[in-house]
């Protein structure tokens, strides 16, 4: 929603940029008079008129847009022909620039703008955090440190006080000691997760005794991550802020490729008001970096950019595996059919004409994001179980492996294979086998955090990527999941007394190994679990496995099902 404050800020930004742009355009017209063959001057004038022709969110700019559009077309014609501008061309450009200058001055007079202070960046605003710690010295120290890092900290010394604070106001984040005088912080976290808005809270468990923390129980309670005491306040604050940002995002990240500061501010104001996370860049070099860091769900692309065209950047994006299906919406002052065809040929999904009308832009963005989400689900998810497919899961593994090389982030891969699955298919039919896989997939989804990943790795093999756990912790989690699955009855599809089990191989990420080597270590551990009699979880770091060569491309038949 565009408020009066937003409108004032947009107008102030427009006038500030317009003054600089007009001065530059005046220099370029003078350069053309002395050097008519200057292609750079023509290109600069083209971009200048293009910017004014696409101005959005500025009241009373209709005549400015019309005149600037004529200037843009005149410069575009000169640029495409390659001819030096004739005297008549120069006169027309000067006259158009004079009108643009007068219109900008009129907008400034009518607006009577008082430049407002720019809004404080979101990252610098205080986040509501509840700190639960029974040690008064630790509580005071950590609360003070977190406040210095931009958090509005409330404190509680026990479970009862913490419950009262949560009832008074649900915090954005909670840092809870595991062991409190009247219970465990995990009890409160589990209760919060069951509340209507509980999924939005970032939950962190803390403890001084690493061997006391049941990390499996912490995961089941719904924590996002845990920290060991003594706490590094700076590291904790950074992880909290990152997690809160991820929670706040709607899941839709938009990359705005636009070199005009006012237009970028206009688009950001509109889109952030709708709950989208917006990143902007101005040229091709920044675009490549932004694609990797932002991984956008949608791209808004201006066509006329310095040194490169939006069409070229779109083609570059379409060459990247991760962005072949990402919606790209071109924003341009060109409404002709040729421009629409060029946008389509470059891989664009839509072509919107500047000035941008919010009543058109926002529905188009919503529709394209919705369609892309459905497409991504069909591309990334297994049709039977609804879990990630192997290709999508491999991307998650690659990200976890890269994170390990950059920091001490721990993750574990769990490969799961249903025991004697062929006997289930042969004895009860493939529909029964499918039902068993669906049941196992449902159990795994319910027992891990949303930040973790569950995948159908292939056939009767499933896989888990568990973050912030050691291999030993992941083995305990896999063993508990194995016990729960073994206890399930499948009376509706199998004999009443028939129980189905699975075997699991676990490997923690190794910063010295490749992705293939990581998977091979987990595969080797799974093979060992099968060899030892099935219905068990084995880790890749088991001493006897360290000297055994990993099997190559083992099938379920080679493992014995």
Query: Which stretches within 82-131 are classed as H helix?
Result: 87-111
pLDDT per residue, tens digit, the chain (561 aa), is 566 777 777 888 888 888 999 999 999 999 988 888 888 999 889 989 988 888 887 888 889 889 999 999 899 888 888 888 888 989 999 999 999 999 988 888 876 444 444 444 433 347 899 999 999 999 999 999 999 888 999 999 999 999 999 999 999 999 999 889 999 999 999 999 888 788 889 999 988 766 555 677 778 788 888 888 888 888 898 888 878 876 665 558 999 999 988 899 999 988 988 888 899 999 888 998 988 888 899 999 998 888 888 999 999 999 988 888 899 999 888 766 777 788 888 888 888 888 888 889 999 999 999 888 888 878 888 989 989 999 999 988 988 888 777 666 788 999 999 999 999 999 889 988 998 999 999 999 888 887 899 999 999 999 999 988 889 989 999 999 999 999 887 766 777 667 899 999 999 987 667 888 999 999 999 999 999 999 999 999 876 554 343 443 444 444 556
Coil, helix or strand for 463?
strand
Question: Residue 18 belongs to what H/E stretch?
Answer: helix 4-34
For Cα atoms 374, 196, 484, give the angle at the middle one, nearest 5 degrees: 75
Give the DSSP letter of residue 296: -
Tokens of 382: 């297994």
pTM: 0.63
Please tell me the distance from the alpha carbon of residue 332 to that of residue 352, in angstroms, as a whole number. 6
Question: Residue 59 belongs to what H/E stretch?
Answer: none
Please tell me the distance from the alpha carbon of residue 523 to that of residue 516, in angstroms, as a whole number. 10
* Backbone phi, psi, residue 198, to 5°: -65, -25
Please tell me the distance from the alpha carbon of residue 339 to that of residue 303, in angstroms, as a whole number. 10
For Cα atoms 132, 175, 398, give the angle at the middle one, nearest 5 degrees: 165
Other C-beta atoms closer than 10 Å to the C-beta of 254 total 24
Distances (CA, A) of 60 to 102, 116, 132, 297: 13, 20, 55, 34
Query: Which stretches within 121-178 are classed as H helix?
Result: 136-148, 159-168
Please tell me the distance from the alpha carbon of residue 480 to that of residue 535, in angstroms, as a whole number. 11
| Long-range contacts, stretch 316-321, CB < 8 angstroms, 24+ apart | 316/284, 316/287, 316/288, 317/291, 317/347, 318/347, 320/291
Please tell me the distance from the alpha carbon of residue 228 to that of residue 410, in angstroms, as a whole number. 14
């Amino acid at each position: 929603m565009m408020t009066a404050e937003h409108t004032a800020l947009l107008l102030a930004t427009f006038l500030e940029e317009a003054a600089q742009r007009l001065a530059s355009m005046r220099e370029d017209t003078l350069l053309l008079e002395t050097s008519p063959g200057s292609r750079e001057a023509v290109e600069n004038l083209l971009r200048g008129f293009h910017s004014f022709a696409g101005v959005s969110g500025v009241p009373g700019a209709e005549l400015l847009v019309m005149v600037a559009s004529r200037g843009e077309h005149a410069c575009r014609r000169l640029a495409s022909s390659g001819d030096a501008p004739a005297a008549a061309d120069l006169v027309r450009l000067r006259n158009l620039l004079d009108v643009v200058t007068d219109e900008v001055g009129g907008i400034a007079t009518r607006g009577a703008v008082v430049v407002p202070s720019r809004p404080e960046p979101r990252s610098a605003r205080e986040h509501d955090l509840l700190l639960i710690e029974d040690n008064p010295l630790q509580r005071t120290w950590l609360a003070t440190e977190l406040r210095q890092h931009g958090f509005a900290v409330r404190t509680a010394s026990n479970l009862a006080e913490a419950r009262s604070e949560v009832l008074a106001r649900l915090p954005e984040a909670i840092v809870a000691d595991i062991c409190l005088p009247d219970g465990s912080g995990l009890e409160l976290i589990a209760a919060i997760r069951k509340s209507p808005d509980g999924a939005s809270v970032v939950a962190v468990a803390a403890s001084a005794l690493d061997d006391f923390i049941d990390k499996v129980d912490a995961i089941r309670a719904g924590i996002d991550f845990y920290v060991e005491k003594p706490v590094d306040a700076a590291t904790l604050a950074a992880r909290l802020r990152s997690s809160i940002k991820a929670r706040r995002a709607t899941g839709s990240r938009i990359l705005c490729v636009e070199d005009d500061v006012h237009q970028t501010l206009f688009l950001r104001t509109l889109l952030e008001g709708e709950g989208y996370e917006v990143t902007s860049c101005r040229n091709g070099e920044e675009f490549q970096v932004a694609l990797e860091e932002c991984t956008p769900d949608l791209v808004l692309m201006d066509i006329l950019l310095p040194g490169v065209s939006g069409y070229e950047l779109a083609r570059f994006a379409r060459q990247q595996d991760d962005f072949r299906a990402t919606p790209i919406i071109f924003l341009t002052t060109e409404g002709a059919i040729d421009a629409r065809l060029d946008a389509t040929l470059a891989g664009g999904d839509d072509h919107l004409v500047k000035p941008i009308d919010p009543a058109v832009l926002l529905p188009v963005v919503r529709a394209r994001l919705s369609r892309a989400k459905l497409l991504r689900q069909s591309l990334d998810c297994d049709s039977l179980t609804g879990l990630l497919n192997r290709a999508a899961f491999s991307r998650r593994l690659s990200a976890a492996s890269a994170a390990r090389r950059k920091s001490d982030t721990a993750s574990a891969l769990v490969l799961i294979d249903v025991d004697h699955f062929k006997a289930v298919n042969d004895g009860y039919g493939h529909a029964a086998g499918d039902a068993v896989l669906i049941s196992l997939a449902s159990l795994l989804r319910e027992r891990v955090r949303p930040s973790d990943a569950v995948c159908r790795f292939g056939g009767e093999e499933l896989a888990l990527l568990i973050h912030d756990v050691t291999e030993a912790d992941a083995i305990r989690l896999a063993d508990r999941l194995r016990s729960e699955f073994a206890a399930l009855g499948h009376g509706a599809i199998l004999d009443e007394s028939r129980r189905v089990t699975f075997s699991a191989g676990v490997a923690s990420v190794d910063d010295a190994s490749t992705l293939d080597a990581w998977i091979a270590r987990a595969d080797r551990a799974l093979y060992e679990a099968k060899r030892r009699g099935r219905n068990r979880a084995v880790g890749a770091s088991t001493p006897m496995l360290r000297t055994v060569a990993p099997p190559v491309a083992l099938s379920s038949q080679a493992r014995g099902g």
